[in-house]
Amino acid sequence: MFTFLHAADIHLDSPLLKLEHYEGAPVEDLRSATRRALENLVELAVVERVDFVLIAGDLYDGDWKDYNTGLYFVFQMTKLREAGIPVYIIAGNHDAASKMTKTLRLPDRVFLFPTDKPGTFHLEDLGVAIHGQGFAKQAVSKDLSAGYPPAVPGCFNIGMLHTCATGREGHEPYAPCKIEGLLSKDYDYWALGHVHKKEVLHKDPLIVFPGNIQGRHIRETGPRGCMLVTVDDSGRANADFRPLDVIRWMRCEIDASGADRGDDVVDRICEQVKELLEQSNLPLVTRIEIDGSCRAHAELAADPEHWTNEIRSAAMDLSNSRIWIEKVKLRTSPLSKGKVSDPADGPVGEILHLFDEVQSDPARFGMLGESLDDFWKKLPREIKQGSDAISPDNTEWMTNMLDQVRPMLLRRLVSNGDAS
């Protein structure tokens, strides 16, 4: 029997995604998170006394800003060397040979697979053969696994591959492969990397994405870590997920239906925050998403900045700063438009009536979206993608924006004079 760790997508020293612009963000904790997660990986390997460690690509996040990133990795690897634990690494798209202009000599017992052809390392004392090939360039479009050698008879065969498999949302289609192709090699375990979400593609033999070891943004929520793989005397592998993250990203969905006031919604959020704290002993970076039809909608949408900071303040106080609210998404809607607090007469009433007409007329609604097309084309690519994307051609997005703008506009008009 023997054990090993299968990790991938460490993205050591991955840069922050503009979080330093948010007041109160735990910038230093987030900046060091990938390093601390790597430390947890090393500690787990030593504590579990594993026989070896596999890193299936994207050890780095691209070329180093300076040599400190490489030196830090070397320092962590010396701890494994002292514990007698070898490490086997393939380069992924982020640390492809074509991207890395800086290099350092790897410590003894840290082995890097070739990038020009598949290679095999034999661990004769364990009866293990590890096969793999790293990326020579960032964009690899061919199936690298097709060139891997047949299984070595009498050995436990492991294939290491950085791949999109058959394609995964949010990941570049690099080194695509099919499960049938991997199975044809007759390997006993496939250690995959590149996809940041943990996923078991096949159970016998195991074909596994362990996910990345530390979430870096809101699209990487939940526990992050590696697989602790145990191989019994009959050669059967069992993979057990072990979390390594030091800060956890979470989404918190709040149903504001029936809430009369903004404070009522904040109270509901506080209840959810308490539940999150009970579920995790890690610091949390959380996005609050508020939905539902309610009377509180007008109050929330009229001053979203105030309520965002009110929510952040309440969460910080309740959690003793263990939770930081990354963003608040207000997606509430009014119970009835134009009847509760909207002035019915005068110029303001005419404007609000225009809102209702546009939203009830598909043709005019479509023209409104088209009028924003030139503006949309000028926006940076990063805000035109993902769940928060600005999408003037999306009816749901446009409806949500109009529902948010309506009370904001009303508040400004009324505050500058008589509504009539």
DSSP string, 64-96: -SSTHHHHHHHHHHHHHHHTT--EEEE--STT-
Same domain, residue pair 162 and 195: yes
Give exposure, 100-127, as e/b (b: 16+ Cβ within 10 Å).
eeeeeeebebbebbebeebbebebeeee
Q: Give percent of the chain with pLDDT exceeding 70.
A: 80
Average pLDDT over residues 72-76: 95
**Sorting pLDDT into bands at 50, 70 and 90, what band is 217?**
confident
SS3 121: strand
Q: What is the pLDDT of residue 84?
A: 96
Q: Are 274 and 320 in contact (CB under 8 A)?
A: no
Nearest to 376 by CA among 398, 387, 365, 391: 391
Strand 189-193 versus strand 156-162 pairing type: parallel
Average pLDDT over residues 356-379: 69
pTM of the model: 0.80
pLDDT at 212 over 80: yes
Same domain, residue pair 293 and 169: no
Same domain, residue pair 161 and 267: no
3-state helix, strand, coil in the chain (%, to 5): 35, 20, 45
CA–CA dist 385, 390 (Å, integer): 8
In tens, the pLDDT along 3-41 reads 999 999 999 988 765 565 566 677 788 889 999 999 999
Please work out, in degrees rounded to the nearest 5, the angle formed at the alpha carbon of residue 141 by the alpha carbons of 135 and 142. 85
Q: What is the pLDDT of residue 220?
A: 92
Same domain, residue pair 74 and 216: yes
Q: How many residues make up the chain in this entry?
A: 420
Same domain, residue pair 170 and 260: no
| Sign of the Cα pseudo-torsion (87, 90, 172, 13, in order) | positive
Q: What is the pLDDT of residue 97?
A: 66
Q: Of 289, 309, 335, which closes a domain?
A: 335
Q: How many domains is the chain partitioned into structurally?
A: 3
CA–CA dist 44, 24 (Å, integer): 32
pLDDT at 74 over 50: yes
pLDDT at 323 over 50: yes
Q: What is the pLDDT of residue 417?
A: 47
pLDDT at 419 over 90: no
Q: What is the CB neighbour count within 10 angstroms for residue 260?
A: 11
Q: Are 356 and 365 in contact (CB under 8 A)?
A: no
Same domain, residue pair 211 and 354: no
Q: What is the pLDDT of residue 59?
A: 93
Residue spans of beta strands (DSSP E) within 195-236:
199-203, 206-209, 225-231
Least confident of 23-32, 136-145, 273-282, 347-356: 347-356
Q: Are 384 and 330 in contact (CB under 8 A)?
A: no
Instruction: Report the CATH number at residue 37.
Output: 3.60.21.10
Containing H/E element for 403? Answer: helix 395-415
Q: Of 335, 354, 376, which closes a domain?
A: 335
Nearest to 81 by CA among 52, 118, 39: 52
Same domain, residue pair 299 and 393: no
Q: What is the pLDDT of residue 420?
A: 38
The runs of H, that is alpha helices, within 32-67 are: 33-48
Same domain, residue pair 127 and 202: yes
Tell me the three-class secondary structure of 288-334, residue by residue: EEEEEECCCHHHHHHCHHHHHHHHHHHHHHHHCCCEEEEEEEEEEEC
Inter-CA distances, 314 with 95, 271, 401, Å: 41, 11, 26
Q: What is the pLDDT of residue 301?
A: 82
Could you list the residue range(s) of the whole structural domain that residue 283 is in?
A: 247-335
Q: Of 281, 311, 335, which closes a domain?
A: 335
Q: What is the pLDDT of residue 418?
A: 44
Same domain, residue pair 273 and 407: no
Least confident of 14-18, 372-376, 383-387: 383-387
Same domain, residue pair 176 and 54: yes
pLDDT at 306 over 70: yes
Q: Across the beta sheet with 52-56, what order do the strands follow?
A: 110-112, 87-90, 52-56, 2-7, 225-231, 237-243
Same domain, residue pair 175 and 256: no
In tens, the pLDDT along 93-108 reads 988 766 777 778 889 9
Q: What is the pLDDT of residue 66?
A: 84
Same domain, residue pair 181 and 323: no
